[in-house]
Chains A and B, each alone.
Chain A
């Protein structure tokens, strides 16, 4: 999101929220990451930077791209996920993409909201998935639904912030309807990309996927190497 959409109080307020969220995430990520998973977290951020360049068509004359909060959180953990998106947003500034004074708002929408809702729905679906049903399908469904939900959720927070301190006086109901409509469509793309990416990583390295930790029956590929440990 560019600069100019929000007044100073909302920009500063979101900046404070973003700073607090990043500070909490720095502590949380310490528990989530170790020697094995820290490099994956760095590359997940790089992958999300790349994926955000890919705008896909969602309706006539409209496109969308990955936000990545749900994807990052499922792969490397919610705290590290917040940091992933915050790093991506920072690097994007060098490309004159995503405002400078809007950084706090972008972190609030895409990192904090995206991760909270995306990972929250992911966990919920994982918990509700029947124990007897295929684990792999459960991981895919949870990833898809978490990512799908995260996009309109961010759009909703955008409109809420716009109601508080948007720089244009607009009929909020119409803005809300338009934002939710298009972002549900973008959310479907977000869900597909997230489920495919999580599925691909889980297929080769299930041990690295944060969202699979603590599973009663972890999705694990048995080899002599893992069996003897």
Chain B
């Protein structure tokens, strides 16, 4: 059965929110590939503190929320929301107006 547009988009958004809001808590805390190589090969010290290190969302935690799981999950949800808004707004602005190309029209809706 074909899934309607709204329903499909809603499910996709919910999955992204669940990944960022819940699953992220179980992510590996080990350094990632680049960080590990930087440590092993001796250029990790070159890293500079982030210009936005004082951001209230710094390091994927919400400032003032003590519970680690809640703070990280909330940060993830905020990030997904911001990305969806920024990306959605950008793509809606640059899209081709007036709907469909002949090629994909039959499969529409």
A29, A63, A80, A92: which contacts B32 (Cβ < 8 A)?
A63
CB contacts under 8 Å to A, within B1-52, are 1-3, 5, 8-9, 12-13, 15-17, 19-20, 23-24, 27-34, 36-38, 40-43, 46-48, 50-52
**By the criterion CB–CB under 8 Å, are B50 and A182 in contact?**
no
**Residues of chain B with a CB closer than 8 A to A31's CB:** 96
**By the criterion CB–CB under 8 Å, are B33 and A50 in contact?**
no
State whether the Cβ of A127 lies closer than 8 Å to any Cβ in chain B.
Answer: no
**By the criterion CB–CB under 8 Å, are A46 and B24 in contact?**
no
- How far is it, in angstroms, between the C-alpha of A44 and the C-alpha of B27 when the chains are bound? 20
**Residues of chain A with a CB closer than 8 A to B37's CB:** 175, 178-179, 182
**Residues of chain A with a CB closer than 8 A to B28's CB:** 55-57, 63
**By the criterion CB–CB under 8 Å, are A33 and B43 in contact?**
no
- Interface on A for B, CB 8 Å cutoff? 1-5, 26, 29-31, 33-51, 53-58, 61-65, 80, 83-84, 87-88, 90-97, 99-100, 155, 158, 166-168, 170, 174-175, 178-179, 182-183, 185-186, 201, 204-208, 213-214, 218, 220-221, 223, 225-226, 229
